[in-house]
Chains A and B, each alone.
Chain A
Amino acid sequence: MLKTFFKTLSFAAVLSASLASLPAHAEQKSDFKVCWSIYVGWMPWGYLQDSGIMKKWADKYDISVDIVQINDYVESINQYTVGEYDGCSMTNMDALSIPAGGGVDTTALIVGDYSNGNDGIILKNATDLAAIKGQNVNLVELSVSHYLLARALEKVGLSEQDVTVVNTSDADMIATYATDDVTSVVTWKPLLSEIAANDNATLVFDSAGIPGEIIDIMMVNTETLADNPAFGKALVGAWYELMGIMASDTDEGIAARTAMAEASGTDLAGYDAQLASTAMFFTPDKAVEFTKSTELPETMKFVAEFLFDKGILGEGAPSPEFVGVSFPDGSIYGDSANVKLKFDTTYMEMAAKGEL
């Protein structure tokens, strides 16, 4: 009996110690880990690791950076939020609701692209978005798909009360579309293209209708970045070197895009098609210009209100302004005493000026 007690006790001690030690303590360090998941705009992260470009830049600053692919997108954000990784690729919306809402001070280091048609709404046997009224809509609830639906409904004078949202796993989206019950889905590419290829499917709205609102960003821990500027410099330097290669139609650029296409399970043509509906910021100037634009605070306001409406903006959030978001010009949306999401162009500007 006593032995069992001690076992239980030591297990509990190990459990609590291991769980408690997870948060990334802000301090000078030399080894960093960032994570990413499969998405057209994030495939460069895998290529950075495989091609050695990341290692080259990390060596330049005398640090090491490990870029890890995680199969499940939400899981990758969760891992970052609990402190397993120093940075992670995610959308502006998920960054606000998961790490920032969870009190993890997060900085948008590299604003990579925005969805410009990658996310869309498909109706079966109907060609007008307004026909969605009264239907069941299958989508990954509380994701950017849900946000896209909410914004689309607003545009035709409907609200979420006019439809029934059915939470559907993205892994099963294509199979579910084939069933008779499903009349409308909201999803993203490449699933979207696959479903749109059905004869009875019509793409009635896509993210090109709300350009610049679904933004894909490399988010990093603010404290880690503040204590280790070399980490930010190495990531940004490596990223824009690859962006330059990717954007070119040289052999090197085509080789890089082909490798990314294969890693995402398609071919060069398929990947280029996805890139066409993605507004990639191939140069740091473009990314800085976008991040400093006056539309970004507007977008974050929409997003915060959406998250608050759904009750997912942090524990007991009393208003959409509960979590503060700061912008490059120093302005703040929301609670200035609780700024947890920071859009910072410092490092991208260094890249633009060639100071890395």
Chain B
Amino acid sequence: MRIINRTLSRRAAILLGSIPFALLIGAYAIASHLRRINNPADKLLPSLGSLGDAIWRMGFEADKRSGDYLLWLDTIDSLSRLAVGIFISTLLAIGLGISIGFIPHIRRGLAPFVATLSLIPPITILPILFIIFGLGETSKVMLIAIGTAPVMIRTIAQAVMDIPRELIIKAETLGASTWQMIARVVLPQVMPKLIIAIRLGLVPAWIFLISAEAIASTSGLGYRIFLVRRYLAMDVILPYVAWITLLAFILDRLLLMASRKALPWNHLSGDSL
């Protein structure tokens, strides 16, 4: 049988999938060991044991100064910023995206503006955001929203325009008002695209979250990484990076599952990554 036709059992698939991870950890352990032969207190590649100690210290021991459990405090603060930012972007994507995609007057008026906005690198206007929104939570959330919303709006607008014209005409012949068409035809049709837009928006959202926290903050996953970077504490940085990756992965999977559950008709054409 040709290799392209062979399928794997679930166990074999999991095993194969875990090999690159195991190799990476193995390579790290070897490199770390070699560096620590020269200097047992090496900071760049700490041993797996001291990574474990750092995870334990950050996650399960109260901080000496504040009494907080830092890993969880950082995670909650970061996730809530991310949630508010993405929520604002989603609302904007639905509201503006559908209007731009569906109503020619709004499209002509706003589409070029949104397209232009989406090209501004958000980091460059951070000093302006500070002055408008202050240094607190607002500017961090706004950076995430400004960084993700324009692209999401454009995705949704395009999705609306991709709806087969026949469907719209059919609805019109049946006497639907514009509002009814939006609620009954357009919205359900773009829901899968909206979930994809959120999933894709989360990628830059994490970047903007970390950047915002790096600039002025008292907590958050990005704050902690940039803080301990000052003394090359890779034993804290590496687990934090792994943790952020895991959180991002879980969020992505949850959205995919939600899409499969709520919109099964969109997943009939086969599996996707």
Q: Is A179 an interface residue (CB 8 A)?
A: yes
Residues from chain B with a CB closer than 8 A to the CB of A169 are 214-216, 226
Q: How far apart sit A23 and B35, CA to CA, in the bound complex (Å)?
A: 7
The number of residue pairs between A and B whose CB atoms lie closer than 8 Å in the complex comes to 133
CB of B248 closer than 8 Å to a CB of A = no
Task: Contacts A5-B19, A12-B23, A19-B44 given; indicate if A172 touches B126 (C-beta within 8 A).
Answer: yes
Q: Across the interface, do A12 and B26 meet the contact criterion of CB distance under 8 Å?
A: yes
B193 sits at the interface (CB 8 A): no
CB distance from B229 to the nearest CB of A (A): 7
**A74 B23 Cβ-Cβ under 8 A:** no
Q: At the interface, yes or no: B130 with Cβ under 8 Å from chain A?
A: yes
* Contact of A228 with B by CB under 8 A: no
List, in ascending order, chain B residues with CB within 8 A of A179's CB.
130-131, 134-135
A182 to B216 alpha-carbon distance, docked (Å): 11
- Cα(A316)–Cα(B39), bound, Å: 16
Question: With an 8 A cutoff between CB atoms, is A22 at the interface?
Answer: yes
Q: Tell yes or no: A13 within 8 A of B by CB.
A: yes
* A141 CB-CB contact with B under 8 Å: yes
Contact, CB under 8 Å: A167 / B43: no
Judging by beta carbons under 8 Å apart, are A316 and B231 in contact? no
B207 within 8 A of A: no
Contact B227 A142 (CB under 8 A): yes
Asked if B206 lies at the interface with its beta carbon under 8 angstroms from chain A, I say: no
A82 partner residues in chain B, CB cutoff 8 A? 43-44, 232
| A residues less than 8 Å from B20 (CB atoms) | 8
| Nearest neighbor of B25 in chain A, beta-carbon distance | A12
User: In the complex the two chains form, what is the Cα distance from A142 to B226 in whole Å?
Assistant: 11
Q: Which residues of B contact A94 (CB under 8 A)?
A: 231
Let me know if A181 is at the binding interface, CB within 8 A.
yes
A104 within 8 A of B: yes
Could you tell me if B135 and A166 are in contact, using CB atoms closer than 8 angstroms? yes
Interface string of A31-70 (1 = CB under 8 A from B): 0000000000000000000000000000000000000000
Q: Is A98 an interface residue (CB 8 A)?
A: yes
Which residue on A lies nearest to B54, using beta carbons?
A315
Interface: A180 (CB within 8 A): yes
Does A283 sit at the interface, judged by CB under 8 A?
no
Q: Using Cβ atoms and an 8 Å threshold, which residues of chain B touch A314?
A: 41
Quick check: B223 and A167 within 8 Å, CB to CB?
Answer: yes
* Contact A167 B227, beta carbon cutoff 8 Å: yes
From residue A81, how far is it (CB to closest CB) to chain B in Å? Answer: 6
Which candidate, B45-53, B180-188, B256-264, is the interface stretch facing chain A?
B45-53
B24:A12 contact, CB within 8 angstroms: yes
Which among A9, A101, A142, A172 is the interface contact of B216 at CB below 8 angstroms?
Answer: A172
Residue A71 is within 8 A (CB to CB) of chain B in the complex: no
- Chain A residues whose C-beta falls within 8 Å of the C-beta of B74 in the assembled complex: none
The residues of B that contact A178 with a CB separation of less than 8 Å are: 130-131
Would you give the shortest CB distance from A98 to chain B, in whole angstroms?
A: 5
Which residues in window 169-204 of B have CB below 8 A to A? none
Q: How many angstroms from the CA of A138 to the CA of B31 in the assembled complex?
A: 38
Decide if B127 is an interface residue (CB 8 Å cutoff): yes
CB of B134 within 8 A of CB of A181, answer: yes
* CB atoms of A23 and B215 under 8 A apart: no
Decide yes or no whether B42 CB sits under 8 A from chain A: yes
> A169: nearest residue on chain B (CB-CB)?
B215
Contacts of B127 in A (CB 8 A): 172, 175
Can you list 30 A-B pairs with a CB-CB distance of less than 8 A?
Answer: A8-B20, A8-B24, A12-B24, A19-B31, A19-B45, A20-B31, A20-B35, A23-B42, A98-B231, A102-B232, A103-B39, A103-B42, A138-B135, A166-B217, A167-B226, A169-B214, A172-B126, A172-B216, A175-B127, A176-B130, A178-B130, A179-B130, A179-B135, A181-B135, A181-B136, A311-B64, A311-B65, A312-B231, A312-B233, A315-B43
User: Known contacts A166-B217, A167-B227, A169-B226; can you find 11 more A-B pairs with CB under 8 A?
Assistant: A16-B28, A78-B232, A103-B43, A142-B231, A143-B230, A164-B218, A172-B130, A176-B216, A179-B130, A181-B136, A315-B43
